[in-house]
Amino acid sequence: MTAPEEKKKPHVSPSQVGRYCQCGESYRRRYILGEKLPPGVAMVRGTAIHKGAEFNFKQKLKTREDLPEAQIVDKAVSTFEEKIKHEGLMLSEDELARGEKVIVAEGKDEVAGLAKVLHSGVFPRYQPKLIEEEQRIELPAASHDLMGIIDLIDDKETIVDFKTSGKTKSQEDVDGDGQFTFYGLLYKAKFKKECAGISIENLVTTKTPKVVTLKTTRDNGDYQALINRVNMMLNGIKAEIFTPAPPGAWWCGPKWCGYYSTCPYVKHK
C-alpha cells in the first residue's frame, strides 16, 4: 500500500505579504477562501514578458548567446494568447465598453513592442546563473515558510527583476518595495552572503516602448523590518484578522480590485 503523500507546508510569498498589508479582505478572499479571479491585461502582459525572458536566458546558460528577436516576440505573444485562453481576462468598465477584442489586440501589440525592447536593451547585458528558480526559507517554528521566485541571478551575483508598467517607476518606488527585500533575504539564505545588488528592468508601455534600469540594495535592517511584517501577518492569519483597505486607498476600487463589487466594506448602489 502506498503511503499518503505528505502535505506540503504552506508558504508566504512577496505578493501575499503585499496583498495582506494592502487589504486583508482581498487576501482572505484569494488565499483563505480560494476565490481566484481572472487576471487583468496588465498582469497577462507581465507574465508574457517574463516568459520571453525565461525562454531566452535558460538557453543562454549553455550557449552564452541570445536568441533572435523574432523568437522572443513569438514566445511572449503566444504566452499572452494562451494565458487569456485558459484563464480568461478581467476587464474594467472602461475596457468592457471598448470591447474585449480591442483590448486583447492592443495588449498583443504592447507585448510585441516590449519584447523587442527586452531583446535589444536588456538581454545583452546579462549572463544568467539562475533563472526563475524557486527559493524557499524553511521556518520550522512558524505556520508558513517563506517562498519566492527570483526572475534572474546573473554571473555577477546581481538579482535582476523584470517589471512592466504604464509609467516609469521612480527610485523611491524600488527602494521602498518589499518584494526586493524579500528577494534579497532569499538570496542571503541560499548563498550565505549578500547579493551584489538588485537591478530592476522597468519595461514601460509608452507610445514608444522603453526600458529604464533602476538599482537598489538591501541590508539587515530591511530584512528585520520584513520579518516583523511577516510575523504580524502570520499572527493575523492565525487570529483570523483580515483588515480591509483603508477608505480612499487608490487600489480599493473596481478598476484595481476584482472583489470590489462584492466587498462588504465598501458602499454599493
182 in Cβ contact with 215 (< 8 Å):
no
Tell me which amino acid residue 174 is: V
Cβ distance 114 to 205 under 8 Å?
yes
Answer whether 0.85 is exceeded by the pTM. Answer: yes
Output the pLDDT for position 254.
85
Closest CA to 255 of 40, 22, 11: 40
* pLDDT reported for residue 79: 98
Cα(76)–Cα(88) distance, integer angstroms? 17
Nearest to 218 by CA among 190, 233, 191, 199: 199
Task: Look at the alpha carbons of 14, 186, 151, 213 in this order and tell me if their dihedral is positive or negative.
Answer: positive
The count of C-alpha atoms lying within 13 angstroms of the C-alpha of 107, restricted to the half-sphere facing its C-beta, is 29
| Domain annotation for the chain: domains and CATH numbers | 11-238 (3.90.320.10)
Identify the residue whose cell numbers are 480612499: 248
Q: How far apart are CA 164 and CA 160, in angstroms?
A: 13
By DSSP bridging, strand 197-204 and strand 11-12 are: unpaired
Q: In 138-261, where do the E strands start and end?
A: 145-154, 158-165, 197-204, 210-216
**What whole-number distance in Å separates Cα of residue 218 and Cα of residue 175?**
8
Whole-number pLDDT of residue 246: 95
Residue 27: enclosing H or E segment and its boundaries?
A: helix 24-27
**Which residue ranges in the chain fall short of pLDDT 70?**
1-7
Residues 214 and 198 sit within 8 Å (Cβ to Cβ): no
Strands 145-154 and 158-165: antiparallel
What is the C-alpha separation between 49 and 45, in angstroms, rounded? Answer: 6
CB 54 within 8 A of CB 115: no
Question: What is the model's pLDDT at position 256?
Answer: 85
